[in-house]
């Protein structure tokens, strides 16, 4: 049976807070949506739109649920009984659904996370949850990439961390320059992933290798 270790929380959490700012009520949020509907040129009281402000408020609760999550706490429980496993651990193709802070339109793509453990590992679902906690906030892709990698490095203290994000930005594909099919790739390499070319190549090769169904015989 694995031995769980609960890490002490670092003095500085990676959580993005807005201390000192009063959060508007749901009613105020719904009123703001009504204003936007009217500004766009429609009637928020007509049948098809009368329930839209409430639906948008509920949707925003889902889109930006990451503000209520602490990514540091998600990584607090680790396991030391690993049979001295010290090779790379990679989680590929984590679905990314985020929003650009400049236009509040979707960023859709995938995230690849890898790390070299130093005596302890974390449940793989926690890696996906850390990605989700940061993704469900408003930011740019560069910031998101750095936040994920830095938090894993700071909390787990592995020998190295690598994070690569590939995503399409609807602020570019559906408005402005309107270039569908374009995606953006960002990476953050820390520790041995940055300093050791062989480790970096191994990680990039693993996330680029052909996908197969693990349940296929």
Q: What is the pTM of this model?
A: 0.86
**Is 139 among the residues known to form the active site?**
no
**Is 141 among the residues known to form the active site?**
yes
Per the structure block, which two tokens stand in for 55? 């639906």
- Residue of 14 and 212 predicted with greater confidence: 212
**Is 100 among the residues known to form the active site?**
yes
Cα–chain center distance at 196:
26
Residue 216 has pLDDT above 90, yes or no: no
**Is 99 among the residues known to form the active site?**
no
Query: CATH 3.30.1130.10 spans which residues of the chain?
Result: 66-208
- Note whether 200 and 193 are within 8 A (CB): yes
Give residue-wise pLDDT tens across range 75-121: 999 998 888 888 999 999 999 999 999 999 999 999 999 999 998 99
**Catalytic option among 103, 166, 170, 202:** 103
Bridge partners of 114, per DSSP, are: 90, 162
**Is 169 among the residues known to form the active site?**
yes
The CATH classification number of 66-208 equals 3.30.1130.10
What secondary structure, in 3-state letters, does 2-33 show?
CCEEECCCCCCCCCCCCCCCCCCCHHHHHHHH
**Catalytic option among 139, 141, 147, 153:** 141
**Is 62 among the residues known to form the active site?**
no
């Amino acid at each position: 049976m694995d031995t769980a270790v609960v890490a002490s929380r670092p003095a500085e959490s990676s959580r993005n807070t807005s201390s000192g700012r009063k959060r508007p009520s749901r009613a105020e949020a719904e009123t703001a949506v009504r204003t936007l509907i009217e500004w766009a040129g429609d009637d928020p009281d007509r049948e098809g739109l009368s329930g839209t402000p409430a639906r948008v408020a509920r949707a925003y609760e889902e889109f930006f649920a990451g503000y209520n999550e602490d990514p540091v706490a998600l990584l607090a429980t680790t396991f030391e009984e690993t049979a001295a496993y010290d090779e790379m651990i990679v989680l590929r193709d984590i679905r990314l659904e985020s929003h650009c802070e400049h236009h509040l339109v979707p960023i859709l793509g995938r995230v690849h996370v890898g790390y070299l453990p130093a005596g302890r590992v974390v449940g793989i679902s926690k890696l996906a949850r850390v990605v989700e906690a940061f993704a469900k906030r408003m930011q740019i892709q560069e910031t998101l990439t750095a936040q994920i990698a830095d938090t894993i490095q700071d909390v787990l203290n592995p020998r190295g961390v690598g994070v690569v994000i590939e995503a399409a930005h609807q602020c570019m594909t559906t408005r402005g320059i309107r270039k569908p099919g374009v995606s953006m790739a960002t990476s953050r390499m820390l520790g041995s992933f940055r300093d050791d070319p062989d480790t970096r190549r191994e990680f990039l090769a693993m996330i680029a290798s052909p996908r197969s169904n693990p349940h296929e015989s």
